[in-house]
Structure 1
């Protein structure tokens, strides 16, 4: 086993961009290395750490932490640590000791030249693949839409706009309050994905109601390639361990036996630090060790259904108090709710104070502020809607903008200034169906059926049995006696050419129904329930999505309302109804989505004189919840709960049902009126910029056309990944028999991918292959983190070039060594400087492109290649060392250009934020401070960017 000593300097072979590492801690099996250049640490297993010891020999030149270049005169070893005696090149008598711990952190590596001169050669194909990978990484890092390209989503303007506005902030803290069905989950996922992709965040926690845990898990994995760990009591028990003191005592005994005296390493017993991405339920949050959870150093916390966090000045709920503790400890916070302030200023204030307690310290002051805000919001709505502004309207606007010209000719400037000064877009976003087009109509078809005698139960039976009478059977016998099944059989036969989604509350109901209709009636159906693993569910969904040979209907348990997109279907059959109005909206939302091409037909077979009939009329006649979205459903349920319970207990009592419907209609009308009166035009305008949204859509469409597939096929061929055509623009990837080690992010069972967004959205069984897909990112890391392709010799076949002519193609890279959160690659992505030298050192790169050269370069057998290098070693070394100065000049120009772009961008952002702060208190001071510090750090990191020879190819002309 390698001997490590604290203070030694080692280099990561897999992450050379980290700079020179410093051994920080060593225990009996782990070694921790600090990388000061990027302010990061890594912990490795000692027996297979990908580390190379960095030492210098007599005559070598080293660089100290102060930037001094010194020539090594002597080397001493002190208990595993090296001390160099070195001097400045022009002062040989000024010898000074330099412990290795004081070496500079940014190590200039010339690995390509070393490999060339020591005949560690790769094939021509590997050199070309390495250069292609460098070009790909540069395109990936330099994209203005980095973080938005990878998710499997429709290109919907308002979602892209919100993600673009929020994700670019440092530690965003906002309320996402889009109306039901507009995609708050997607917006949150986009923000999270971009924060992770750009390095602004590493650790994220999502807290959702119990019923939505699987929906979020599936959405994050399928749409965003983010693999969350679900934490619950079972998970915590699995992570349980002996006490810290017990483990320390045990390790101390081990140390005493093996190495004599020694201290046991520190052990962190916080289980929430074991994963980077954690998902948990609100119920788990209320029962877990909140101190440990809050102390887990979250960069971003996302809380869904935040309106369920009840608060009052004197008695906040336990869930609210715990989220408040999380909010105070985390850097970023996203709260999701479809019901903002229209349903109560107090609850709205409670959510805003979670985001920024300094800005919202007092409820009374907030209420008074909102009165003023409503006047401004109403004024903005009038200015936006009216083509001609009457004198009174101009006068009211001028009172708010005394330093602006208020007339129709300056409409855009006036509206923009009002949004800047009074808009809540820094802290809250809300889009509604009023300002977002593309939704279908919804039509409901009630199907009253006779109640079978064996379904009649007493009023004192459990509610579940009253709502779902088939639950009283232990097998699928009920299917042969249930009129709903007979109706479903007839309905599917009448709609043979249509896709039909069937949802029922219970898993056993879905299983029995599928078995009866599929095996006994011979119908072409698929089933989908929580007893299936994700792969089985994917296959079922894909079978349903197949329009040629797929299932006509998909029978789902309640999990079918979770996050899946079945908008290609137009018929929804609800075999039963849930008690929760939000859950009903989720069911309908599987089909009622942006992009649905036809009206959604909702079919509800129910038993007369039964609890399901009560629910049908409660929803339809009381709330009109089938044919319109129902943002107030949760509140309506609370206000009508007693009347609903009474009617469900005596479903054949018409008077109770009439009272329930009347009460529900009154409450729903009052709540909808409040919602419409509280419609916030200022907020809607601040939440959606159609021009910016269209630009983002165009950029993403262009990015879609730049497919990574041609590059990836070359990678797969090199590493031994089998590729099989699945269909048009889709392929099956599997580990091949010659694959020497697991390929990053490629499952052992294989995966099906497509590079077409439309196909990926329609086919849940396929992954969307983009430049941001983990498979592509893993391939780039795999190629660039190893040595293959750094040095090569090839044969140039061109009759116009004299045989024996020698050329050297040198590829240098310029890249900043910086922590990811600085996002230095926005301004200086990995940039290639290519030089093509003849034997006299002249640069021919402008005359002969890399691609043109590759078409003429061919394989050269290694023995001959090595002879060529050996015979020309002196010339090659001199050519490359002399040319490095010229290449360095080009690199400096690249760096200066990047610095200029950075200064301009950061100055604009700072000026904008400072101007906003003077007008709008919603701009947080810490955002400005972060930008100022970021600018200073970027100035240093980009200015000190690393320049190195990344790959070199010796080319010899011949036949």
Structure 2
């Protein structure tokens, strides 16, 4: 046995190397004279030290600490005993709850080298500013976890009350199963993305599959990444075949998956999808899958296998009430089992419409809410109309009859190209989007404008990579040095919206009304500030001439065309000879136009008569919607996020250069501490302004929901950065050498992610401040008051101070657990009260709803009870851990 610097050495003790912490936990094997020998089992290394200057730190666990036995199992320390300078730990084994006694010699060699106590013992410290940044991150994380709109902050989208209302309402439900059926242009994709993002970020969902028509796969991938910073993987036939030899179920390779609709037609992939334990299923264009088909049967199987389902369709009743009923059956087959009964209910609910409209008009919100709660599909279906929401622009088509009749392709292209140049000259200071059918035409037009007239156009087609498209969009969007026109092919324009422009050139016309509406929809969206001007050139008796007249007859240019697909099904065969040049019978064509116009009016009348105004009132309740909107705006109104991220980048070796008032450029440097996901080597332009992000699609929009921000919070609250710190005080009112230790404990609940425990009890900080005598000064000296007196200490001086205080510090740290637990108990009691109150209110609400509305599933009420039960149990077993330690020594100048 030997001693030095207050340290007593004895065989069997466990020590850490201050200079080689990565060696793990050493065991002292021999004490001979003034030399000690330490074996480090983790590496097999043996070190000998002079006992007087040994760079060693005694390793001891404290009550409530978690230790690991050399055999690999874990235990929680309940008592520490010492015999002959060697320690033993009494505790509870975690895997079977049995009592164990573990001599320190039997501890695992691998030790949590990043634990604050381990780092303090080994003299490892961080700068004062890193400690402060860690504390900020803890406060920000707690605020975000308790924010009622967490997960709704990060969408690169205009804040629209109806979208926020639907997203907030649906996302928080237990296993929501709903039909999102807003009219074209109202943003169903945005709503689905918001629901998705909130559920992922709050833990309600972990594994998601999105099924879309094959042609829309790319559009969805782009929208998810661009608007929500969500990286989904496309699982098409090729990807599945590539994985089938590696995995029993190919869909277990990723958590977030997009699949083409055609994939589920194959039995192998269908079976694996159903067995892959996805917890959220999103289906776009659900109306395209007709009932009584094999595809619909496949869809039904997936809806039965996956607990939460979102069906998206802009035309829920277009194929008839029976098809609409079949889709509702996908969501809740128990509720919708009798079509005749459903028809009867729909008629009864329609009789309530006049009363509901009166209540809405006079502002009787509580009475209106009670009335709407009775409504049959109100909880399963959300449908807003443009007329109900408002805020859309007018549309005006201008036709241009060119010279010549029945021109060849080359002649037609020359005429239209010359006309286009004239149009650009006429609107010199306005931006235009041109859409045509093929990438070849796009390229020919680009060459014509550049070679013949020196006009550089942005080009957008399916042959380009995502990066090339992004650059083209940026070139077009830039108000300072952008180009005047964007040339798009049909497929190349999918997934992009250009409502900052209001001139649309239809260089040729698509053969289907839905494609025409899709083209116009690139500009005609909420947020468009001007009348959308639609320019259509054609030569006499050409294909486009006939198409223009037919579309004009159905009023497809003037307003969104909900009846176009039905008209196409009825009249496409009669129209076809005119498009191919086989017929020019003007009388017959006039009759076709007349029949189209009459049928369009008839179909619109049917839709208007059947339009469910009660449904619209239920899908957008202004009071609740505005409350959600206000909460989101309040979260964005603070400069805290920008300040925090700039400090984070500075501390972690990332350069930030301000580009203008609203944006900056971040790029990694050779001094970067850790790899940051989503930050490319060439850097990234970022903004914290939603408005700026909407005007500049190439700029990354950072919010508290963004993966980069979430990663920063995670690094600073779960890793060791800033967890230990030594600082100097220069307070003449205190004696020189007086010291204090500030300990921060993290307290959180251990519960399944789907229980979303942090909404009631977020991960939060418990602070304990002790002076050198061990007196508790927590309530008397706030952290801010201390911060103002502290100065930076270099690592060498910090290590010396810690060596002198090491033994006392361990005793203080052990003593701090009792006051920390007292503070935790107060937090737990408050959370339990809140849980009881809010869950009781929610349960009463659901019970009342269920009595009036059969669309409320018993499983929702059962899930509420289960959540309360699990969270109540979790509150009885909180996790309290030492998070960070700051030692402050007074040395007046």
TM-score using structure 2 length:
0.86
Report the counterpart of residue 150 of structure 2 in structure 1: 146
Report the counterpart of residue 307 of structure 1 in structure 2: 287
* Bigger Cα displacement from structure 2, 763-772 vs 371-380: 371-380
Report the counterpart of residue 171 of structure 1 in structure 2: 175
Report the counterpart of residue 240 of structure 2 in structure 1: 236
Report the counterpart of residue 572 of structure 2 in structure 1: 641
For residue 828 of structure 1, report the CA deviation from its aligned partner: 1.1
1:81–1:442: structure 2 CA closer, same or farther, 3 Å change rule?
A: closer
Structure 1: distance between partners of 2:688 and 2:327: 40
Report the counterpart of residue 590 of structure 2 in structure 1: 658
Structure 2: distance between partners of 1:539 and 1:363: 52
User: How do residues 577-588 of structure 1 correspond to structure 2 at under 5 angstroms?
Assistant: 577-588=509-520
Q: Is the 8 A contact 2:134 2:722 kept in 1?
A: yes
User: How do residues 912-923 of structure 1 correspond to structure 2 at under 5 angstroms?
Assistant: 912-923=845-856
Match of 2:254 among 268, 275, 291: 275
Q: Is the 8 A contact 2:434 2:507 kept in 1?
A: yes
Structure 1: distance between partners of 2:74 and 2:289: 61
Q: Is the 8 A contact 1:610 1:652 kept in 2?
A: no
User: How do residues 170-319 of structure 1 correspond to structure 2 at under 5 angstroms?
Assistant: 170-241=174-245, 268-287=247-266, 289-311=269-291, 316-319=292-295
Structure 2: distance between partners of 1:749 and 1:655: 64
1:804–1:833: structure 2 CA closer, same or farther, 3 Å change rule?
A: same
Q: Is the 8 A contact 2:743 2:816 kept in 1?
A: no
For residue 812 of structure 1, report the CA deviation from its aligned partner: 1.7
Q: Is the 8 A contact 1:62 1:103 kept in 2?
A: no
1:740–1:660: structure 2 CA closer, same or farther, 3 Å change rule?
A: same
What is the CA deviation profile of residues 914-941 of structure 1, one whole-angstrom value per residue up to 9, with x for unaligned ones? 1101110000111111111011011111
What is the CA deviation profile of residues 43-99 of structure 1, one whole-angstrom value per residue up to 9, with x for unaligned ones? xxx99xxxxxxxxx9996788xxxxx99x9xx997xx46699999899x9xx99977
Q: Is the 8 A contact 2:345 2:376 kept in 1?
A: no
Structure 1: distance between partners of 2:73 and 2:148: 45
Report the counterpart of residue 31 of structure 1 in structure 2: none
Identify unmatched segments of 5+ residues in structure 1: 1-45, 48-56, 64-68, 243-267, 388-409, 456-468, 471-477
Q: Is the 8 A contact 1:817 1:945 kept in 2?
A: yes
Match of 1:553 among 473, 477, 485: 485
What is the CA deviation profile of residues 501-552 of structure 1, one whole-angstrom value per residue up to 9, with x for unaligned ones? 1111211111221122124321132111122222221121122111121111
Report the counterpart of residue 544 of structure 2 in structure 1: 612
1:491–1:681: structure 2 CA closer, same or farther, 3 Å change rule?
A: same
Report the counterpart of residue 373 of structure 1 in structure 2: 349
Q: Is the 8 A contact 2:62 2:814 kept in 1?
A: no
For residue 299 of structure 1, report the CA deviation from its aligned partner: 1.0
Q: Is the 8 A contact 2:417 2:448 kept in 1?
A: no
Report the counterpart of residue 7 of structure 2 in structure 1: none
Q: Is the 8 A contact 2:407 2:539 kept in 1?
A: no
Report the counterpart of residue 494 of structure 1 in structure 2: 426
Q: Is the 8 A contact 1:561 1:586 kept in 2?
A: no
Match of 1:345 among 308, 316, 321: 321
1:102–1:372: structure 2 CA closer, same or farther, 3 Å change rule?
A: same
Q: Is the 8 A contact 1:160 1:693 kept in 2?
A: yes
Structure 1: distance between partners of 2:455 and 2:872: 67
What is the CA deviation profile of residues 674-697 of structure 1, one whole-angstrom value per residue up to 9, with x for unaligned ones? 111012121111111111111112
1:216–1:58: structure 2 CA closer, same or farther, 3 Å change rule?
A: closer
1:636–1:799: structure 2 CA closer, same or farther, 3 Å change rule?
A: farther
Is 1:541 equivalent to 2:473 in the alignment?
Answer: yes
Q: Is the 8 A contact 1:81 1:100 kept in 2?
A: no
Q: Is the 8 A contact 1:503 1:575 kept in 2?
A: yes
Classify the secondary structure of the residue corresponding to 1:709.
helix
Is 1:503 equivalent to 2:456 in the alignment?
Answer: no
Report the counterpart of residue 720 of structure 1 in structure 2: 653
What is the CA deviation profile of residues 165-192 of structure 1, one whole-angstrom value per residue up to 9, with x for unaligned ones? 1001011100111111111111111111
Structure 2: distance between partners of 1:211 and 1:275: 22
What is the CA deviation profile of residues 223-275 of structure 1, one whole-angstrom value per residue up to 9, with x for unaligned ones? 11111111222222322427xxxxxxxxxxxxxxxxxxxxxxxxx41112211
Q: How many residues align?
A: 818
Match of 1:672 among 599, 604, 612: 604
For residue 893 of structure 1, report the CA deviation from its aligned partner: 0.4
For residue 660 of structure 1, report the CA deviation from its aligned partner: 2.3
For residue 778 of structure 1, report the CA deviation from its aligned partner: 1.3
1:730–1:923: structure 2 CA closer, same or farther, 3 Å change rule?
A: same
Classify the secondary structure of the residue corresponding to 1:341.
coil
Q: Is the 8 A contact 2:182 2:382 kept in 1?
A: yes
For residue 910 of structure 1, report the CA deviation from its aligned partner: 1.0
1:543–1:59: structure 2 CA closer, same or farther, 3 Å change rule?
A: closer
Q: Is the 8 A contact 1:140 1:146 kept in 2?
A: yes
RMSD (CA atoms): 3.0
Structure 2: distance between partners of 1:81 and 1:210: 50
1:799–1:757: structure 2 CA closer, same or farther, 3 Å change rule?
A: farther
What is the CA deviation profile of residues 743-769 of structure 1, one whole-angstrom value per residue up to 9, with x for unaligned ones? 122123322110000011111101111
For residue 436 of structure 1, report the CA deviation from its aligned partner: 0.8
TM-score using structure 1 length:
0.81
User: How do residues 453-532 of structure 1 correspond to structure 2 at under 5 angstroms?
Assistant: 455=408, 469=409, 482-532=414-464
1:734–1:768: structure 2 CA closer, same or farther, 3 Å change rule?
A: same
Classify the secondary structure of the residue corresponding to 1:422.
coil
Q: Is the 8 A contact 1:423 1:682 kept in 2?
A: no
Report the counterpart of residue 626 of structure 2 in structure 1: 694
Identify unmatched segments of 5+ residues in structure 2: 1-41, 44-57, 84-88, 100-106
Classify the secondary structure of the residue corresponding to 1:548.
coil
Q: Is the 8 A contact 1:757 1:768 kept in 2?
A: yes
Q: Is the 8 A contact 2:263 2:270 kept in 1?
A: no
What is the CA deviation profile of residues 825-848 of structure 1, one whole-angstrom value per residue up to 9, with x for unaligned ones? 101111112233322334444454
1:551–1:932: structure 2 CA closer, same or farther, 3 Å change rule?
A: same
Structure 1: distance between partners of 2:59 and 2:719: 28
Is 1:446 equivalent to 2:422 in the alignment?
Answer: no
For residue 321 of structure 1, report the CA deviation from its aligned partner: 1.2
1:489–1:97: structure 2 CA closer, same or farther, 3 Å change rule?
A: closer
Report the counterpart of residue 46 of structure 2 in structure 1: none
Structure 1: distance between partners of 2:683 and 2:876: 44
